[in-house]
Each structure stands twice: as structure tokens, then as C-alpha cells.
Amino acid sequence: MTREASVVYFDSLGPDNTEETFKLAKARAEELGIKRIVVASTTGDTGVKAAEEFKDYKVVVVSHTAGFKAPGTQELTSENKARIEKLGAEIFTGAHAFGGIAHAVRKSFNTHVLGDFMANTLRMFGQGVKVAIEISLMAADAGLISPDEEVIAIAGTARGADTAIVVKPAHAHDAFSLRVKEIICKPRL
């Protein structure tokens, strides 16, 4: 059996593609019967939009860890956090699957470690693909999605959403079991 699906390639990066990315992801979710959406959001703007757009789905918003930008800070605004939760979506904030303690090793010893190699390899497919895979690992580790069912992971390049993929998630300790089933859309750049 073969299956044909189209891939949309954007001519630009970032937030200008958010609305179209959500539209494409929602259409594919309906076609495949997927009810779980994982979305990356730094300040929460994209998370709020996703929670509104995917109100009939289980939405998990994955934010940066506290202290990512500067010690003791949280980039996810309290206003957006409250809006996301009021809309019924869940939020996960924790160490990046490819970073975590590895960031400290890189910073302290000026060397790259395994997580850097994985992240940089995935960036060859685009920043959004790398982030979508990483947030899938993180959400699975938090128990917010199951490795037993496909999800749609949405991420972007810097801000907004410009990438959506269908993923069979895995836990970080079993990362090589994760499968990217389909690319729905991504920048061509």
C-alpha cells in the first residue's frame, strides 16, 4: 500500500507562516485522525494561537526552560501562560532534550557534546524540524504524549510557526525510536 501526501515549502521563515502552518497541520490531523498537537512557544504567543486554533485537540505547549535567556528569567509571559491554560492546553517547561546539562559542558569547557551533534544534524532539515523533534521528546518524557500514538509537532524558526511534522514520539532515553512519519510543511530556505 502506498500513500501520497503533499508537502508545502515556504519561501520565508518565521511568524508570517504561522496561520498557514496551523491550517495545514489541522487538515492533516483530521485526515489521519490525530488528536494530539505539540507546539513550541517561547513567549507564549504561538502557544495561545495554537490553543485557540486546535481547541478540539489535546494541545501541549512546550516552552523554554527557566533561565534559558538569562538566569532567573522565564520568557513565557504570565499573561500568555494564563491564556493557554484557560483555553485548556497544557504547558511543559523543562530542560531541552538536546541541551540540558550539555549546555553547561559546552559553556564551561568550550567543547561540543552529543546533544550538539544531534541538534546540528537535525538543523540540516531546518531549525523547525529540529525543534519539533526535540519538543516531542520533551513532551513524551513529561508524560504529556505517548510514544504509542502519532502526534503533530509544530515549531518555527526563531518566532512563530513555519514547520509541522507527523511524529511517532519517543522518550529521550530512547530517542532513536522516534520516527518522523511525514513533513507537512517547512521553509525551503
pLDDT at 95: 84
pLDDT at 4: 84
pLDDT at 151: 98
Q: Report how far residue 160's alpha carbon sits from residue 94's, in angstroms, rounded to the nearest whole number.
A: 20
Q: What is the DSSP string of 104-152?
A: HHHHHHS---HHHHHHHHHGGG-HHHHHHHHHHHHHHHTTSS-TTS-EE
Decide if 123 contacts 130 (C-beta within 8 A).
yes
| Ramachandran angles phi, psi of 48, nearest 5° | -65, -45
pLDDT at 148: 97
pLDDT at 32: 97
Q: Report how far residue 106's alpha carbon sits from residue 112's, in angstroms, rounded to the nearest whole number.
A: 5
Q: What is the pLDDT of residues 137-149, one digit of tens each?
A: 999 999 999 999 9
Q: Report how far residue 124's alpha carbon sits from residue 67's, in angstroms, rounded to the nearest whole number.
A: 27
- Closest Cα to residue 60, out of 33, 34, 24? 34
Q: Report how far residue 50's alpha carbon sits from residue 9's, in angstroms, rounded to the nearest whole number.
A: 20
Residue-range domain boundaries for the chain: 8-63+86-187
- Closest Cα to residue 95, out of 138, 124, 147? 138
| Ranges of residues in the chain whose predicted pLDDT is under 50 | none
CATH architecture of 8-63+86-187: 3-Layer(aba) Sandwich (3.40)
- Specify the 3-state DSSP secondary structure of 188: coil
